[in-house]
Amino acid sequence: MIVILTVLLGLIQIFHLAVAKILTNYSAFRAARSYVVGFDDYLIGRSARVAAIGASGKLISPDNDSYSSPGAQFAMERFMIPDYISGDRWLEYEYWFGENEYDPLFYHYSVTPPSTNLTYSIAGGGPGAVTESVSFSDYPYAILDMADRNRIWFPLGSSTDISSNSSLINHAADYIEED
């Protein structure tokens, strides 16, 4: 039973990291698309962050404790996310700006959570092309963190980096002038 449980928890951890990688790929595409259609820089960042919400941890702002259930939070996010993308509202998730928190009931007080950040950058990808890179730095191993509160049994480290690139042809450059 212990072997089966260990394999199951290992698979859950692999799936958790795979979902983060998939959402980082999608986030890179959304950020590149936002750049190509001529969005301002702050809107490109918001688009990249929204595309990675599924791998971004807990909702920090507005306060996550004000929702009675995950369903209630999801219902409110359906209204808040379009306002966030347009610049009318502020949202913040745990892994966007390095505000990881560990619940003191489950973790030793001396354990410091990784400072996960979602970053994006734009680079030229050749004539008329743009390459967008999106990455989670210090993405936590959630299952291993639960199994090893003091981080002494599993010497894998506390986190990993997950990054993705997306390249698109910049057709907006033909129509939009840079200021």
Nearest to 129 by CA among 75, 94, 171, 73: 171
Encoded amino acid at 153, one letter: W
**pLDDT confidence of residue 104:** 65
98 C-beta neighbours (distance < 10 Å), count: 14
**pLDDT confidence of residue 134:** 87
CA distances from 68 to 59, 71, 80 (A): 13, 8, 17
**Per-residue pLDDT tens over the stretch 78-126:** 888 999 888 888 888 888 887 666 666 666 666 666 667 788 787 765 5
Tell me the mean pLDDT in the region 136-153.
63
Tell me the mean pLDDT in the region 14-42.
88
Given a cut of 90, is residue 22 above it in pLDDT?
yes
pTM assigned to the model: 0.78
Question: Whole-angstrom Cα distance, residue 170 to residue 119?
Answer: 21
**pLDDT confidence of residue 103:** 65
Question: Do residues 111 and 149 touch, judged by C-beta distance below 8 A?
Answer: yes
Please count the CA atoms within 13 angstroms of the CA of 174 that sit on its side-chain side. 6
